[in-house]
Amino acid sequence: MNVERHITVVVLIVAMAAMAGCVREARLGGSRPTDQVIRELREENRELRREVEQLQANIERRLEHIEALEQQLAQTGGTSSAEQLARQPRFTSVRFDRYSGFLDTNRDGVDDTLRLYVLTLDQEGRFLPVSATAVVQVAAVRPGQEPVVLLERTFDVDAFAAAYRTGFLGTHYTLELSLAEAKLPADLDSAVVSVEVKDVATGVTLRRQATMCITTGR
């Protein structure tokens, strides 16, 4: 099952990359100015990248739903029917809300805080409060090198519950980390941020990661 999932993601990414390649070959060598062609190619590449990310998000959401079902069935020894599970709200997905990211809270030109608006969702995409623990990790990823963990923090059940917020930004968990103790490379302009949330009642553990822009002291 895991192999089939990975193959599906790879096939979609390769297909989108092939589309970008076809556009590049068709455009270069024409009569228009090179700068104009390059600008158009960059815009099309950005659009293709957005489409790939959307496809990945849709696939990951379905895989998370399946994984949550499998974990819950395992917790109950397989005694609950699929129909019963389908009717009950279940923790099946974790997401970052749109305003999540690195922040410069003291306005000195350098990001000093990571603030994540974490959504725990059920199988219908609705917010679902959970009694859970969470692990947030920040890593630097460079081509051809192993990821380097720059910062990690664990939120226990009480800390995660205390992070619950509801207001004009919607209902979510606000997880905040100071970058004061992190050893950030001077040339770092983006980092991979991940959160792993474990529902302590069911044992279901789900993970979400995203690449976020960061401004360091270079």
Distance CA 210, CA 15 (A): 22
pTM of the model: 0.63
List the domain boundaries for the chain.
2-75, 89-213
Count CB atoms within 10 A of the CB of residue 211: 11
Residue 198 identity (one-letter amino acid) = K
Distance CA 195, CA 208 (A): 5
Segments in the chain below pLDDT 50: 1-14, 16-28
Q: What is the pLDDT of residue 1?
A: 45
Q: Which fold has domain 89-213?
A: Immunoglobulin-like (2.60.40)
Q: What is the pLDDT of residue 126?
A: 94
8-state DSSP, 187: T
Rg (CA), the chain: 21
Distance CA 102, CA 114 (A): 4
Q: What is the pLDDT of residue 60?
A: 75
